[in-house]
């Protein structure tokens, strides 16, 4: 596992369906080493802080193996690193292999996986494909967000080392499928709630599911 590219951008305005939208999704690769801080990478920013950013979504990661899938699925050959709005383009970190709650050392930083990515319409803008966000979520090839446990510098070429694996072993793909495509699975929802690293938003969704299931 390693970083192929570190990608950042500050929010900018684009015109979408006749209105101006502010978005930070147009990430671009940067050279050299970049400081990874509690809320984001230096030089990076989010436009909608209610839906993006914060401690539990400080960094977004997407693996190059998913690039190959989407190139074939959408018959495209124009993808560049940062295409999906990710901060870190990586390799060998597929959604099936990475667990929510796993802890990694990247460069001199330490990070923890907190949740899958939930796409919004801005991913459709970035991909020039309005249908893409729904396909993206349906596939559960969503990538994942990180919480920064220890700040440090990261850069392209850095090895990524797993230093702790969550004992529940619920992968990013499993958690995504559980929330969006397996609503009757109460047993696994209970297991998901045992993951201490799970972000508050996703925790709340599973708590609501259990509350609804317990109602007469």
Banded model confidence at residue 53, pLDDT cuts 50, 70, 90: confident
pTM greater than the 0.75 cutoff = yes
Residue 66 within a domain: yes
Predicted local confidence at residue 214, as pLDDT: 81
pLDDT at 216 over 80: no
With respect to residue 70, please indicate whether it lies within any of the assigned structural domains. yes
Q: Which CATH number do you get for residue 131?
A: 2.40.33.20
Instruction: Please write the tens of the pLDDT for every residue from 91-129.
Output: 999 999 999 999 999 999 999 999 999 999 999 999 999
Judge whether 146 lies within some domain.
yes
Q: Report the alpha-carbon distance of residue 103 to residue 150 in Å, rounded.
A: 11
Structural domain includes residue 200: no
Tens of pLDDT along 57-67? 999 999 999 99
85 lies in some domain? yes
Residues spanned by the domain of 128: 2-183
Q: Is residue 29 part of a domain?
A: yes
Task: For residue range 72-82, list pLDDT tens digits in order.
Answer: 999 999 999 99
Number of domains in the chain: 1
HEC profile for the chain? CEEEEEEECCCEEEEECCEEEEECCCCEEECCCEEECCCCECCCCCCCCCCCCCHHHCEEEEEHHHHHHHHHHCCCCCCCCCCCCCCEEEECCCCCCCECCCEEEECCEEEEEEEECCCCHHHHHHHCCCCHHHHHHHHCCCCEEEEEEECEEECCCCEEEEEECCCCCCEHHHHHHHHHHCCCCHHHHHHHCCCCCCCHHHHHHHHHHHHHHHCC
């Amino acid at each position: 596992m390693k970083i192929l590219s570190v990608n950042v951008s500050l929010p900018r305005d684009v015109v979408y369906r006749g209105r101006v939208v502010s978005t930070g999704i147009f990430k671009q690769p940067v050279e050299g080493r970049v400081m990874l801080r509690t809320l984001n990478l230096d030089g990076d920013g989010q436009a909608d802080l209610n839906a993006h950013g914060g401690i539990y979504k400080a960094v977004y990661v997407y693996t190059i193996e998913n690039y190959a899938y989407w190139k074939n699925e959408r018959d495209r050959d124009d993808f560049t690193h940062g295409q999906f709005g990710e901060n870190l383009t990586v390799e060998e970190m597929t959604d099936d292999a990475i667990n929510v709650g796993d802890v990694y050392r990247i460069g001199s930083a330490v990070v923890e996986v907190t949740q899958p990515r939930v796409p919004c319409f801005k991913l459709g803008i970035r991909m020039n494909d309005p249908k893409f966000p729904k396909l993206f979520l349906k596939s559960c090839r969503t990538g994942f967000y990180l919480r920064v446990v220890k700040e440090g510098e990261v850069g392209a070429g850095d090895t990524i080392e797993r230093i702790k694996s969550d004992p529940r072993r619920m992968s990013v793909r499993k958690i995504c499928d559980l929330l969006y495509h397996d609503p009757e699975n109460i047993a696994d929802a209970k297991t998901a709630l045992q993951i201490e690293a799970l972000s508050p938003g996703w925790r709340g969704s599973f708590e609501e599911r259990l509350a609804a299931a317990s109602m007469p």
